Amino acid sequence: MSGTASADADADDTTDLPDEERKIRRALTQIRREGWKVAAIYATVDAALFALVVNLAATVLGGVPRLPDRLPIPSTVVRTLRETAGVTLAEPTVSSAAVAGVAVGLLAFVVEVAWRVRRPLVEQFEAANPALRESLRTARDAVRRDQHSRMARRLYESVLDDLREASSVGLLDLRRIAVTVVLLSAVSVATIQLAVVDISLAGLGDDAGPEAPTGGTESDYAGLQDGSSILGEPEDVPEGSENLDANIDTSGSGGGDGTDAESAASYEDSGFEGPEGVESQRAGFTDQEQLEDAELIREYNLRIREEDNE
Amino acid sequence: MSDPTTDVDTLQQRLTAVREEVGKRIIGQREVLEGLLVCILADGNALLESNPGLGKTTMVRTVADVTDLDFSRVQNTPDLMPSDITGTEIIRESGGEREFVFERGPIFANVVLADEINRATPKTQAALLEAMQEKQVTAAGETYDLPRPFFVLATQNPIDQEGTYPLPEAQTDRFLLKLVLDYPSYEEERDIVNLYTGGGSGSSPAVEKVLTREEIKRIQSLVREVPIADDVRDRAIELVRATREAETVDFGASPRASMGLVLTAKARAFLQGRTHVSWEDVEAMATPVLRHRILLDFRAERQGLTTDDVIDDLVEDV
């Protein structure tokens, strides 16, 4: 922002200049300020996108190489937070992925602002407002040459009139900003989703840590991990010495002890009877077929015993 | 004391009125009229190439009429002497005494139309052009300043070159612009016929004086103050320098052409009611400023190119 500061200083040194020239100098300062604002807008949205993408990528890939999963927050910061905002951090650490994202975002912001202001800001404004490009450029050169002639003053008046109807919105590519914001929203949603379901590709690598029961790594799970702290230390249960006999009676239909007639009767007496006398039928083999099978089994058993005896 | 910016607006409105008044007598020829006015505003002189009967005398006389300027015309012939233009000393008798008195020639006017300048001998041409350049005349050891504003419009006939003395390149370079007057379109010619053969007395339509000599001087001063952007000025200089490096040009334009191009661009901007020079002004003035200052290479002539074609190409390339 040194450019703006120096421009302001220039504007302050113009008290002895004609009114039109002083105004045009102020207008040029204002144009440069608008250029800085536009550069900051672009850089902010892009830096936020970079920060979130890096954070997301680092989280999915299982952390930042050569950095621990969590980095300690400096004690001064923790103390300051506690004293000023009354916030007490239970765990004074921060994810290395988040730190990497913020670092990349800050770097992207600085680089983009520097890249966008490398071309003179007034020239960018002239390009965005072609109707007053020539007059503004001429006025700029005239101011630089300290021209105070009648025609120069008339030019300054004309340019000031035109500038009142000009806008710096043309400096902004609204479509590009909108696309970046949409991407930003998508990455934000993905980041939230990642925090909820805890997706990790760390298990795909050989150097991945042991998996937690939920599928994530141990380091990702911040809940209860030591069951002994709740259930106590494990101990041997003493063996029982008293023997007891227990009899269990069975009852109900369908069992092998009931006769076939009883079974059939109990089946027919139960179930739903419709208003039109639809009779229920028992599926399966008929009684006769069952008897024949029993006889056949018995015959086979006898023969097998005879063969064993022999 | 009047507001200088209001003064600028007023003078620009007067110039618009001048064009409207001239338009009452001159049909069409807008570019030539604009060139004439630019030349006056830039305090320069113009060379006009035209066939006979295209109204160049009427145009120049009308400009003089609406601007309250003195007008004189010199018809150049091979026997015209320098003193016939600049003036000569004569013996005048008054009160029984005889004395030499300088009798001013037709060049002592604000607007001088030197018709068919290429029919005068080189000696007479040189005397005229020297007076035009120096804005003063020296006779019998005395120096006489020419009236201001001073504007010479010299004409040449592009045909019937036998018995003429074409102006050398060094002389033509002294003219700020070379304007070419072409035949009017059918509609324009019909309007001209109607205007001058219709009812009334048959004389030229009346025009009003809308610009004074003092106002012209102020405008000439303001024109030099018209701001020009650095890049436009640099491109204008590059354009002139390109004439010295182009393969199609044998002899390029001098730095005087660079000055002339920037100055006429400023004058045109003022004439158009603007307060700064646009590249459009430089483009418009490039051909009239450069066309009489360059000589084409024989290969370009063999290809049938004209100086206007070559200048157009250079303007596109710069």
Tens-place pLDDT, residues B208-223: 888 888 888 889 989 9
How high is the pLDDT of residue B1? 46
Cβ of A139 and B225 within 8 Å?
no
Query: For position B277, what pLDDT does the model report?
Result: 93
pTM for the structure as a whole: 0.68
pLDDT at A211 (0 to 100): 45
Alpha helix (H) ranges present in A166-233?
174-197, 228-231
For residues B239-260, average pLDDT:
90
Residue A161 in this model has a pLDDT that exceeds 50: yes
Mean pLDDT is lowest, of A198-207, A227-236, B252-261, for: A198-207
Q: Which of A20, A151, A157 sits opposite B227 (nearest CB)?
A: A151
- Give the pLDDT of residue A208: 42
The listed range with the strongest mean pLDDT (A290-299, B165-174, B282-291) is B282-291
Beta bridge partners of A252: none
Structure tokens at B208: 């009003």
Instruction: Please give the pLDDT value at position B52.
Output: 79
Other beta carbons within 10 Å of B203: 7
Torsion region of B68: left, alpha or beta (phi above 0 gives left; psi -120 to 50 gives alpha): left
Residue A282 has pLDDT above 70, yes or no: no
Give residue B117's pLDDT. Answer: 86
Q: Cβ contacts (< 8 Å) between A147 and chain B: which residues? A: 227
Q: Work out the percent of chain B whose per-residue pLDDT is above 70.
A: 96
Interface of B with A in 238-297 (CB under 8 A): 270, 275-279
C-alpha span between A169 and B113 (Å, rounded)? 55
Indicate the SS3 state at residue B198: coil
Contact A138 B228 (CB under 8 A): yes
In this prediction, residue A218 has a pLDDT band, given cuts at 50, 70 and 90, of: very low
Q: Do A141 and B277 touch (CB under 8 A)?
A: no
CA-based nearest residue in chain B for residue A140: B229
Chain A residues lying within 8 Å of B229, measured CB to CB = 134, 137-138, 140-141
For chain A, say whether B231 makes contact (Cβ under 8 Å): yes
Q: With 70 as the cut, is the pLDDT of residue B252 above it?
A: yes
User: Considering all CA atoms of chain A, what is the largest pairwise distance in Å, rounded to the nearest integer?
Assistant: 141
- A44 or A167: which carries more pLDDT confidence? A44
- Indicate which of B230, B270, B275 best probes the interface with A, i.e. most A CBs within 10 Å of its own CB: B275
Handedness of CA B207, B210, B216, B219 (dihedral sign): negative
Across A67-76, B5-14, B302-311, which has the greatest mean pLDDT?
B302-311
Identity of the residue in B222, B229, B275 whose CB atom sits nearest the CB atom of A137: B229
| Cβ atoms of A154 and B275 closer than 8 Å | yes
Q: Quick check: A253 and A263 in contact, CB under 8 A?
A: yes
Dist CA A70 CA A205 (whole Å): 20
Count of Cβ atoms closer than 10 Å to residue B300 Cβ: 19
Choose, out of A136, A151, A161, the residue to mutate when testing the contact with B (most B CBs < 10 Å).
A151
pLDDT of residue B269: 93
Within 8 A of B265 by CB-CB distance, chain A residues are none
Under a CB-based contact definition with an 8 Å cutoff, are residues A74 and A209 in contact?
no
**B225 contacts in chain A (CB < 8 Å):** 149-152
pLDDT at residue A265 greater than cutoff 90: no
What's residue A170's pLDDT? 77
Would you state the pLDDT for residue B283? 93
**Residue A253's pLDDT band (cuts 50, 70, 90):** very low
A151·B232 Cβ contact <8 A: no
Task: Work out the pLDDT band at A48, boundaries 50, 70, 90.
Answer: very high
Interchain pair B276, A157: CB under 8 A: no
Tens of pLDDT, residues A73-117 = 888 888 888 888 887 777 778 888 888 889 999 999 999 999 988
State which amino acid sits at residue B230: D
Instruction: Give the phi and the psi of residue B172 in degrees, each rounded to 5.
Output: -65, -30
The pLDDT of residue A221 is: 57
A191's tokens: 């980041």
Please compute Rg for chain B using Cα positions: 21
Residue type, A60: V
In chain B, % of residues over pLDDT 90: 19
The CA distance from B290 to B236, in Å, is 11
Q: Mean pLDDT in chain A? A: 74
- Write out pLDDT tens, residues B122-169: 888 888 888 888 888 887 788 888 888 888 888 887 766 677 788 887
Query: Between the CA of residue A67 and those of A62, A98, A222, B222, B314, what are the distances in Å?
Result: 11, 12, 19, 71, 63
Contact indicator for A62, A205 with CB cutoff of 8 Å: yes
- For the segment A152-172, the average pLDDT, to the nearest whole number, is 84
CA distance B8 to A151: 8
**Which pLDDT score, from 0 to 100, does residue A107 have?**
94
**Residues of A whose CB is below 8 A from B230:** 141
Share of chain A above pLDDT 90, in %: 13
> How confident is the model over B2-31, as a mean pLDDT?
81
Residue B177, beta-bridge partner list: B46
pLDDT of A202 above 70:
no
Q: What is the mean pLDDT of chain B?
A: 86
Token duo for residue B163: 């018995």
B277 close to B163: Cβ distance less than 8 angstroms: no
Is residue A246 very low, low, confident or very high in pLDDT (cuts 50, 70, 90)? low
Residue A15 burial (10 A CB sphere; 0-12, 13-18, 19+): exposed
Minimal CA–CA distance to B292: which of B137, B169, B194, B159?
Answer: B169
Is the pLDDT reported for residue A249 higher than 80? no
| Cβ contact, residue pair A150, B225, below 8 Å | yes
The structure tokens listed for B30 are 């807008």
Distance of CA B57 to the CA centre of its chain: 13
Report how far apart the first and last C-alpha atoms of chain A are (Å, whole number).
Answer: 113
Residue B302: CB atoms within 10 A of its CB come to 9
Residue A267 has pLDDT above 60, yes or no: no
The per-residue pLDDT for A163 is 85
Per-residue pLDDT of B271-303, as tens digits, reads 998 889 999 999 999 999 999 988 888 888 888
Check if the beta carbon of residue A108 is closer than 8 Å to that of residue A48: no
Element (H, E) at B301: helix B298-302
ipTM score? 0.79
Query: For chain A, what is the radius of gyration of the CA atoms?
Result: 43
